[in-house]
Amino acid sequence: MDETRLFNIHIRSEKPLVSPADIKAELPLSANLEQAVLAARQRIRAILDRADSRVLAIVGPCSIHDVDSGLEYARRLKALDADVGDAITLVMRVYFEKPRTTVGWKGLINDPRLDGSFRIEEGLRLARRFLLDVAAMGLPCGTEALDPVVPQYIGDAIAWTAIGARTSESQTHRELASGLSSPVGFKNTTDGNMELAINAIQSAGQPHHFLGITQNGRIAVFHTRGNPHAHIILRGGSRPNYDSASLAYCREKLRAAGLPQNIVVDCSHGNSEKDFARQPAVFNDCIRQIEEGNTAIVGLMLESNLAAGNRSGFAPGSDAAPAGLSITDACIDWDTTESLLRDAAARLRALQASRLSK
């Protein structure tokens, strides 16, 4: 029997991958960094549990493509944290994987040299080293879980995780989220459907049984407990959904499902109508709603980089990747980001002071 006629007929080649345990042995999370990640996760859980009145802000580049500029961004964000941390819990957006509608650069892990060479093992090492460097600054990291194997390599350094709009409906990602050690946000689907994300939150909160790989790289059946800190991320769709009516609708749907009324608003994507320059308006409107008594908004997301905009139409191997300028979604620049966060922190402090005085 010619087995090559029966399976792997579209596979050109395969290469064994180093195990998660081996990469972690090369790039270990020290005891101090482990405590820092645990403390960051606990702060985020406390916000979701309403034991901490600060607002969560997941801020950073659409994707990390240049490690040096990414670290420079992290240094600036950490310095800002010293001034706003009493009102806002900052988490750096560190996205290494990019879902593509058709084709395109799939992120630092998949193609770390940005040339179509797909040196994934190199990408895993590069991503883990970046996370350790950012953690050493004392800054928590948040990322999107796309490939279900990748969290075994980097998940111990992640404080917060997102499941994207294209994968919130995926059973694989709901099962994955049920076993992740960090709080997890599910985005509404690309067309704006909230109910599917709410279904995902319910699913991720329950135990699941699925196939995965162990730290030693062996295939295993995983049995999860369920993730009690899953929540929704509103990112807009065919129309924005950060307005008060949309938030009230989402809040009622969460209540009816027996879920905590926790909403994170993504100020980009459909909510900015795919215009990065509209992110500040969305962000400020959400802060205004918090000032006016909206207690459902627990967090905000911003796509932000050192420079404004993006390199439109970047193609791996054909263009030079600019430092500090996004090669995926367009971002607001650092100065705009800093101004937004400083102003929001001042407004949130004033709100807290007025509540305490009553």
Query: Any idea where the domains of the chain sit in the sequence?
Result: 15-312+323-352
Q: Is 186 helix (H, G, I), strand (E, B) or coil?
A: strand
Does 357 have pLDDT greater than 70? Answer: yes
- pLDDT of 195 reads 98
If you average pLDDT over each of 1-5, 78-82, 99-103, which comes out highest?
78-82
Taking only the tens place, the pLDDT of each residue in 168-226 is: 999 999 999 999 999 999 999 999 999 999 999 999 999 999 999 999 999 999 999 99
CA atoms of 82 and 60, how far apart (whole Å):
17
Does 121 have pLDDT greater than 90? Answer: yes
Taking only the tens place, the pLDDT of each residue in 18-70 is: 999 999 999 999 999 999 999 999 999 999 999 999 999 999 999 999 999 99
Look up residue 286 and give its amino acid.
Answer: C
CATH number of the domain at 15-312+323-352, out of 3.30.300.30, 3.30.1180.20, 3.30.2130.10, 3.20.20.70? 3.20.20.70
Does 88 have pLDDT greater than 90? Answer: yes
Q: Residues with Cβ < 8 Å from 290, sequence gap 6 or more?
A: 55, 297, 348, 351
- pLDDT of 2 reads 62
